[in-house]
Structure 1
Amino acid sequence: MYSTFPFSPGMRRLFSVAALVVLALTWFADFGVLFLRPGAPASGMAVTSWIPAFITGPLAALTLPDNRWLPALTRRAVLVAAVSVALSCVCLFIPQDGAGWGFLETVALLLLIIRVLAQVQPAQAAAWVIAPLVAAVLMLPLRDRSQDTLVVGAYVLTLLLAVCVTLGSALRAQEARRQRAVHDVRQAERLALARDLHDLVAHHMTGIIVQANAARTVHATAPDKVEPILESITRAGTETLASMRRLVRVLREYDHDALLPGDLLAELGELTAEFARHNPDSPPVRLEVTAAARSTRFSPEAEASVHRVVREALTNVHRHAPGQHATVRLDATPDWLLVTVTNTLPSHPAGPAGGRGGLGLIGLQERIEALDGTFRAGPSGRGQWRVTARLPRHPVPPVG
């Protein structure tokens, strides 16, 4: 029911349980009013008095949770509103003797209003769905055909509608802010990847120019050495083109340090050492590099991305799991480069696992997927938090 609301999983479960309890108690109240009302035996009630407790109330409540077998939320909400309005219209012409205004139906309609405002996109579609729901709620007092009930009920329901509309709008605004933050993080990560690729391409192009000048210099005196130089230029050019195909934008900031390829293992060692310097009371990070990873060269953008994954993961360990054991593992298969960062979970987390708001992990996922890789972050089921990135092994020719 609250799967898309901007709350933690624990809060969503708490809200779901609370909603179920409220709906169940409200349904029992409907039956209490229906059967236990003094001076109005159930056998003498009009048919429309039974419908809210047995049909419209449960129908409205069943449309609240999401289910793959149910139609879309907008269709369910319009259907429930139409049924409720139809019953209210019928009650205007049939004398009522007993319960005609269902509490479960009222609560479910109000919750539907909150859900539609918070989740339905775009805003125009939400407005079209909200209109019949509001009409259905405001027409509920008409079922008793009493002036006092109409006045008091309309006043109370108007206040409840104002609260629900405000809450739904607040949730919608909060989700919009979260989506904007996610979009900004993803855009920033794409631009960071573009800057890295720009630096790497510039590095290779510099090498190509140097080798071309060397070939021109030795051409007259040692023509036999020109061929190996040309082969090296071809290999470097092929690698540069492979990186440029993955470059979607180019942006260069003045404060951005250039990256050099081929230093991945040294950079990972520096990251683990830096973690130890900033966390003297924590166990040292264990760095595991398999033989396959040591003997393989990877594309420069893959190395830069692995460095980014490890740095972000260790930063999260420092922030949210201080004092816990952490392990960085680098492995390679014939097709993939695999990096995994695991840490034990503290008994009392210092903050949300994986980063405050999870935006750092969203940025990593955007970077890895931009390179045709896969990214996962979450509990491993053994008391650990695991961050895993898998990047394709694009062929990289050896340096000549």
Structure 2
Amino acid sequence: MGDLRLKPLLEPLLVAVLCGAVFTITGLTSGFGRALYVGGSGIVAPPELLTPSVRIAEVTVVLASAFVLAWKSPALRAAVCIAALALFSLHAAVFRTSFYLSRSDSVVLILMLGAIGVGGGVLLRMRERSRAALAVAAEERARRDERLDMARELHDVVAHHVTGILVQAQAALVVAEEDKSRAYDFLPGIVDGGTDALGAMRAMVRTLRDNGAATATSDLTADLHQLVEKSGLPVRTSIELTEDVRPELGRSVLRLVQEALTNTRKHAHDATNVEVDVRLTASAVLLSVVDNGTARPPHSGGFGLVGMRERVHELGGRFFAGATGDGWLVTAELPLEVRV
């Protein structure tokens, strides 16, 4: 708690010290009495103590401070601190003596240099805000694309079959009004349509988002082994799927593993070992992909991690991606049942 209270006071404290240093140099240059408006020249330091290199260092520190304040500090705090630096710098320009510039020229020079320093900091601040806004927009777009991808996948694989089922069911209702026994003739077609729909969902072979995305068949274990073989990475697999899972869930498992391996290939060039673990529990599918490559920041995976997190969230699961002591880990828990 003490650190949180001290941090907002640190910048004003440093600025106060810097302003005090500027005023001290002004007093040593022109006399403290004169600098404080009490008349007289006061005590003037020997010329060798205030060499051009000292003054250049002073100007550099003041301008650098104004630049950093305008760039990084909260707006109100930055304005107050920069105003204090400007006042003490202008005071120095008026009361110090110079063999090279008149007082008016010194004031103009300080204002110009200050405007350049503060302007540069403000430009960087605006640039960072713009980048942050673009990153947020891009992340939201990635989430929206992932939701759309999932919706289109489900629609494309079942829409045709469900339409056939509805047509046959409606026909059965019409026929049943005259002859109920004839309505039973439509039941095999409805059952076949449902079976075909389930088979189509298990055979999602198209991808609508990435041209090189993996395709899924009815055998998730075989699909995962095939994906690992094509990855070109030194992968060890442990896949324990004792029974079939929902088709859309199997598709998501495959996509998550593929994206995790893609991130490893892109960002962990020095990885010598990658482990893929997929197993089925009583209530969920658990998967993890871990490598021993150089750890990278959480955003290094670009928007792939955003899409992975969004897909897991839409399925009601839990997702984690981050650095470990020896590399990078991606884990997900996907529930077997749809959470409404």
Matched, 1:363 2:311: no
Matched, 1:286 2:242: no
Matched, 1:329 2:277: yes
Paired residues for 1:154-173 under 5 Å = 154-173=111-130
Flag the 1:107–1:316 CA change in 2: closer, same or farther, 3 A: same
Q: 1:92-132, CA deviations, whole angstroms, 9 ceiling, x for partnerless residues?
A: x899989xx9998875554232136xxx8xxxxx7x88776
AA in 1 matched with 2:336: R
SS of 1:340's equivalent?
A: strand
Q: 1:243-275, CA deviations, whole angstroms, 9 ceiling, x for partnerless residues?
A: 9xxxxxxxx89x999977743223212211222
Structure number with bigger Rg: 2
Q: Which residue is 2:335 aligned to? A: 392
Q: Which residue is 2:49 aligned to? A: none
Matched, 1:195 2:181: no
Deviation (angstroms), 1:367: 1.6
AA in 2 matched with 1:272: V
Q: Which residue is 1:338 aligned to? A: 286
Flag the 1:211–1:266 CA change in 2: closer, same or farther, 3 A: farther
Give the TM-score, by structure 1 length: 0.54
Specify which of 165, 174, 182 is matched with residue 139 of structure 2. Answer: 182
Matched, 1:304 2:251: yes
Q: Which residue is 1:318 aligned to? A: 265
- Distance in structure 1 (CA, Å) of the matches to 2:255 and 2:185: 43
- Distance in structure 2 (CA, Å) of the matches to 1:183 and 1:319: 23
Paired residues for 1:219-298 under 5 Å = 220=181, 262-275=218-231, 279=232, 282-283=233-234, 285-290=235-240, 293-295=241-243, 297-298=244-245
Deviation (angstroms), 1:388: 0.8
Flag the 1:134–1:194 CA change in 2: closer, same or farther, 3 A: farther
Aligned length: 290
SS of 1:338's equivalent?
A: strand
Asked if the contact 1:186/1:362 (under 8 Å) is kept, the reply is yes
Pairwise CA RMSD: 5.3
Flag the 1:97–1:343 CA change in 2: closer, same or farther, 3 A: farther
- Distance in structure 2 (CA, Å) of the matches to 1:34 and 1:357: 51
- Distance in structure 2 (CA, Å) of the matches to 1:258 and 1:313: 12
SS of 1:324's equivalent?
A: coil
AA in 1 matched with 2:286: L
Flag the 1:355–1:24 CA change in 2: closer, same or farther, 3 A: same
Q: 1:184-231, CA deviations, whole angstroms, 9 ceiling, x for partnerless residues?
A: 322221211111222344376268569969x99xx85997996x9989
- Return 5+ residue gaps in structure 2 as ranges: 1-9, 44-57, 96-102, 202-207
Flag the 1:225–1:172 CA change in 2: closer, same or farther, 3 A: closer
Q: 1:281-335, CA deviations, whole angstroms, 9 ceiling, x for partnerless residues?
A: x53x222123xx323x433332221111111111122223346222211123333
Q: Which residue is 1:141 aligned to? A: 89
Specify which of 110, 119, 124 is matched with residue 153 of structure 1. Answer: 110
SS of 1:329's equivalent?
A: strand
SS of 1:364's equivalent?
A: helix
Flag the 1:38–1:158 CA change in 2: closer, same or farther, 3 A: closer
- Distance in structure 1 (CA, Å) of the matches to 2:42 and 2:337: 78
AA in 1 matched with 2:311: R
Asked if the contact 1:299/1:393 (under 8 Å) is kept, the reply is yes
Deviation (angstroms), 1:156: 1.7
Deviation (angstroms), 1:29: 6.7
Asked if the contact 1:203/1:260 (under 8 Å) is kept, the reply is no
Give the TM-score, by structure 2 length: 0.62
SS of 2:316's equivalent?
A: coil
SS of 1:294's equivalent?
A: coil
AA in 1 matched with 2:282: P
Flag the 1:256–1:150 CA change in 2: closer, same or farther, 3 A: closer
Larger relative contact order (Cα-Cα within 8 Å, sequence gap ≥ 6): 1
- Distance in structure 2 (CA, Å) of the matches to 1:318 and 1:256: 14
- Return 5+ residue gaps in structure 1 as ranges: 1-19, 50-90, 121-125, 244-251
AA in 2 matched with 1:287: T
